[in-house]
Structure formats: structure tokens, C-alpha cells
Structure 1
Amino acid sequence: MSNDTKFDIVSLAKKAKQASLQAAQLNSETKNKLLTAMANNIIAEQNTIIAENSKDISAGEAKGLSTAMLDRLLLTPERIQGISDAIIDIVNLPDPVGSRSAMTNRPTGIEVGRMRIPLGVIAMIYEARPNVTAEAAALCLKSGNGVILRGGSEALHSNLAIATILHDTLKEFSLQPDMVCVVPDPDRDVIAKLLTLNQDIDLVIPRGGEGLIRYVSDNSRIPVIQHFKGVCHLFVDKYADINKAVNILVNGKTQRPSACNSLETLLVHQDIAEEFLPIAATALAEFSVKVHACEQSLGKFTGAILATDDDYDAEYLAQEIAIKQVSDYEHAIAHIQQFSSDHTEVIVTQDYSRANEFVRRINSSVVMVNASSRFSDGGELGLGSEIGISTSKLHAYGPMGLEALTTEKFVVFGEGAVRK
């Protein structure tokens, strides 16, 4: 991006559209070699990335960003290695572009099937998490799309450092660098204008706070895939294995509380509460988890606060959790249906029929039995990196990998067939 156009989102979108036509024509071998080079170059330039990231961290601390936000923003050598590894995971995935469904013969003499094709230009609007810049770019390139990446102001230095590496790698392969466009202007007016460019942008994916996603959804002329907050529930059924339940609770809440797949609400069947809650209290206290508990559970937790409906609707993204006893199985189902954000729900139970009923009746994008909510992730579910977790049912639902970044066209073969 040249200096005279870097703040011109209209020009940038047109360049991305033009570059996406080249991206759509790349074969799998070229795309895999390109992405491998990007992964290697990110490792080679990690000192530069970390130096730029430190500027963002310092600015974030000065602004008083939350611990959760700073954690999302931080890049370390281990996390940069994780970015590189995620790109290599994408390299190793099958390329969906050009794959065909089974062809079927029609009585009219035509043969009909479908072929996967790129969506075109995808705009990502996201906050913090500079790893999204590299991983979203890799997913879009592997699926034959161009991408416009507009990160938050808090990660601007990190995002531009990564963008420079991606652009340099594209140039090494004599490819148009505008296949990956990173918007360097943090002004919200840029988003407002971007959302009107439906002639050049085919899909918008916002990732971040609820306010950002609602703003994009309310103002976009372009189709939007929503990634709303992750109010993830764990229901400990009366037939639960206590040890499994405690381990799943601790892992889901404390392994990385700033992630959208971390647990925010614990529901406990009253028949197991007297045995389970004191053990859970001890386990959560080891990680200094702040507890908002219902009236029946309040006395089980030292320093707990009485929970309100706002707590059951909250995405804490911190060492904090809401806890409620439920009178029966139906009460748990009703609570989840009322407060779910359609992200991820978990049941711990040894009763096979109740587990299957939970899976059938809860329609969040990911439903789990006896497993940590932290597995609600594209890589863990076998998709490679994800571009987001869709909480809207069209055109994708749940973690979005390569196939979700394509669509299908009909292909028809005939031998001079005409319609009568």
C-alpha cells in the first residue's frame, strides 16, 4: 500500500478485489509454498514483531486496558511460534477450491454437480489478538480469497509488522500484495465507509466486543457473519463423575480465561451440589477465581457475590464465573436456552440418554459431552486455524475453517442438450 492510498479505503477495496481474482486462480501447490514461506518468515522476523508488539503493550497499559485485553494483545516467542504452526496446519489441510460433489445424470441428458469456489474479498474487523492478522490472511489465501484486515488501534504496530512480512512474501512469489490488505487507519470512520463497499467486498466478519459486532451488523450493506460473545455453560448433571466435572470446570475457566471458549457459567444439579460445590470451591480458589453465586450456592464459596441475571448474561473473559444450582435437568436446559450466546455448551454426565438429549435440544454452535469448552476451536476440531466462531446460522455456524470461506456453484455438462 503506497502512502497516498493507505487511508483511502475505497481504493484499497478495489485493489483487494482485483488481487482476489489472482488469488482465486492459484493452484494448491503455489498456495502451500506461499504459506510455508510466510510461516518461516514470521519466525525469522519475530524480534521485529515482538519489538512492535511491545509498543502496543506499553500503550495499552497506559490506556488502562484490562488484563484480559492485554493478554489477547501480547505476543511472545511461544505465541509467534504458534502463529507459524497454525499457518503450517493450514498448509497441511486439503484445498477446498475446485472440489466437486458427485455428478448426477438428469433425464434431460445433462450432468449436474457443484464445485467449491472462493467467496471473493473478505473483510475482517477485529480487536486485539494480532495473531488473527496472520491466521486470517493464511485462511483466506488458502481458500482463494482476498482479505482486508482492520484490526483495533490497540494492536496497530503489531498488525502492521505482520502485514509487512506477508506483503514481502507475496512479492517474493511475484504475486499482488493487495491479496492481503491491512488497514493502517484506526479511525472508526474507515469502518463506516468500508461497510458500504458491497461492490468490492463480499463478506464482513467482525470479531471483538458485542458493541463492535452490533455496530457492524446494524450498518453493513455487505453480508455479515456474526461472532458474538461466548457465554459458555458447563452443566454438571446429577449423574456426573465428580473428578471429570472438576477437571473440566478448572480447565474451561482457568486455562485461558480471556478466550471466547472459556467457561462463564456453571450450572449444578441440586442432587449433586452438596458433594460437588465444596470441591469446586477449593479448585477455583487455587486460581483466585471470583465467584458470583446463586442464593443456594453462596455459602459454599469464600467471598462470593450474589449473582444476578446480568451475571448469567456476562462474558467475563477473566478469572470470574457465575454459578447456579438448578432443580432438575429441565431447569438447566431452560437456563441455557435463556442465556446462551449460541457459542459452546458442555454437559458432564455418565447417563448416555441424558447426554444425547442435551446434544439434541441445545442448538449452540458447539455442544460437548464430558469435554472442556476449550476444545471449541477450529484447530482442536480438525479445521486448522479458524477465522472466527460464527454464532449466526447462515452461511456458517461454529468455528469457520477453509470450507466455510468458500461457496458452491453449479456445473452442468451436456452433449448438445436443449430444453423442451
Structure 2
Amino acid sequence: MLAGCVSIGTRRTENRCISQPSRSRYGISRSRRRIVAWFGMKVRDVGNREQARNAVEQGIVKQVFIDGTGQIVVKEVEEPQLYDNCVLSKTAYSLISTGTETMGVMARRKNPDPNRPDSNCGYSNSGVLVKVGKNVKGLSPGDRVGNYGSPSAFGGHAGVCCIGKNLCVKLPEGVELKEAAFTGLGGIAIQAVRRANLTFGETAVIMGLGVLGQLIARICNAVGYRTLATDFLQSRLEIAAAAGVKTMSANEDVPSYVSDITEGQGADAVLVVVASESSEPVNQALKMIRFGGRIVMVGVARMEIDRSLFFAKEADFVISRAAGPGRYDPSYERDGLDMPYPFVRWTEGRNLKEFIRLLAERRIRVDDLITHEYPVEKAAEAYEQVLSRPQETLGVLLKY
């Protein structure tokens, strides 16, 4: 699920962009420099309110960065360049990823380096289109959209984002912009369920009920799988239960319960959606699956696996990475090249559309997952909320 953060810091020279600072000083790879240059943005310090108002008229927008010491800063940047297979979306709301982004912050705070370039952050947002590239069909200025940003198709916590046409979904009537801010994370959840390779009537156990785990559990439940979700926090169990998901505290004997409800067979798939430095979540998942069952690693946990148990179950272990085929591929995300429908049925773009369909048909809900909302100017407070009070925090939105 790691979406990654891309270093920003460029200047335009004639018809090309040159990454700053140089490789000799910071060791930035050529490939990363190309991605940085693609964004074509120049970072500016935030001035006073009057300057900010004038800047908006001149194509200057606010963007959130993580600095070299792990602090959250809001800076002003030039509105990104529009490319032929992309759109410019004026952001309404963006959703903080409580997994990917907080790990990036904590990693920098653990090893601070004031000379390290700032990194942009965020990948899931909603907004209204202001411009579309000449090769974009089916999208027009004024459309309300949900977006999934990426290193090769910039989009995240910024006032205006350049999004590849494959990663932008037009919103049907009835889907609110706050809900659509979950688009990127929703695509990740759907890909995780697909990786579990479940069929109708099978049993799925979801370990971990953060925002992503909540979405996965709701999608499994909506599809009709026999779904059980677990977490140590009672508050998260209650939120999932209120959405119709069967829940059980992780403090209880979950493997025994799973055995009971499956007539001693075990779950068909266990999706591990936790952040842990222990191998216990994976080994507990092994205890819960049936012979030939599947474990899907969606979160981040140590994987020192009990080989004898793994062998005895003849289990399948797979990783779910982001929102599906096309992720991290510039030809798909930036250049707009799609994959043949008959051969790659569920690309990341099609997964995003499916998530929006579930919202539009009210098969799932996300409004109850929003626990906090901050103006983008207070992004630092929003991140501290996520980092310091995780027990009371799920979906945190930035408003623009």
C-alpha cells in the first residue's frame, strides 16, 4: 500500500526543469530527478494573508510537505503544469493516510537531516476540475472528481493537483466531495480484497480496523463474504459493527472462534491490515486459515513465519500493493496508456471507479470514518492528531 513520497524542489530553465539540490549533495537518483522535474513546481515560502490572496490569482497554491526533520510544513508552490493525458483538479478535501504518511514522518523524525529535501505527501483527494489535457475524453472543467495521486502523476495535499486521466473518477450525483476524498484509499482496499481471491460464500477475517481495515471489512461485507473483523480497540470495533460488520476483540481467542464458525475448517482468507513490529499477527493468521488458505499482507508487520505451520497448511501468502495494476508505471499513470480490458480486468483506475460505484449505490459508507477535519493551513496539527492520539483518530481530512 506504500504510495511513497517524492522530493520536490525544482526550477524552470528555458524549456526544461532542473532538480535542485544537485545529486552530488543529496544523492538523488536520475530516475527520481526525472519525476521531480516532471512536476515542474517551484516552492515558495508562505507570506502574509494579503500576499496569499494575490498569489491565488497568479496560480500559486498551498501544498503540504514533510521536511528533512520530519516536521509538517505548508508552503506555496506554482500551480502544476498540465500535461496532455492529465487533468488539473482544484482540491476540495484530501485524506491523510494514517499508515503510509505517518510512517514517512516517523522515519524522518527518527533520523533527522535538516539538509534533506522536503517531500510532498498525500495521494487521496477530491475536487473540481479546472483544466483537462487535450487527450482527455469524458472529463470536463467543472466536473466533481475523486483522485488518486502518485509519484508519476502528482496529486495529494495540494490546492491544485495534476492527475493522470486513469486516476481521476467523475463523481455521480449523490457522492459528496468529503466521501470522494477516500478514493485513493478505497482503491487500495478493493485491490486487497481482489488479492484475497475470495468467491461467494467464503469466509474472510480482517485483522486491524484502522481506516483501511474498516474499508476492506465493509467491502467484503457488501459483496457477501462471511466477514469477521478484529481489533484491540473497542471504539474501532463499535464503528465497524455499526456499519454492519461482524466484529470480535483481538484480546479474545479469535482463532478458536473462527474454527467454530467454519466447522473446524478455518477461514478462506485472512487480510492482515496492521502496523506491528511483531510477527504475531502473521502467525495468528496462519492459525486461522484453512488448509490451502490465503494470507494477504496489506499493512506492515514483521514476517518471521512458523515454517512448520505454513507447511502444514500449504498456505498461500501474497502482498497487496496499492490500488492495482498500473501503480508506479508512468506510462499508465502519467501518459494515459491503459491496459487491455480483456487481459487486465481490474487496473488501479477501474478499481477506483468500482469504489465510487459502491459509494454511489450506498453499498458502503465512509462518512462515519471521518473523525477530524482541519484547514490545510493547520496540516501540522492534523498530523500531530494522527501521530499522538491514534486511539481516537481514523479519517482525518484537510480542507482547501
TM-score, normalised on structure 2?
Answer: 0.27
Higher strand share: 2
Structure with greater contact order relative to length (CA < 8 Å, sep ≥ 6)? 1
Instruction: Pick the structure with greater CA Rg.
Output: 1
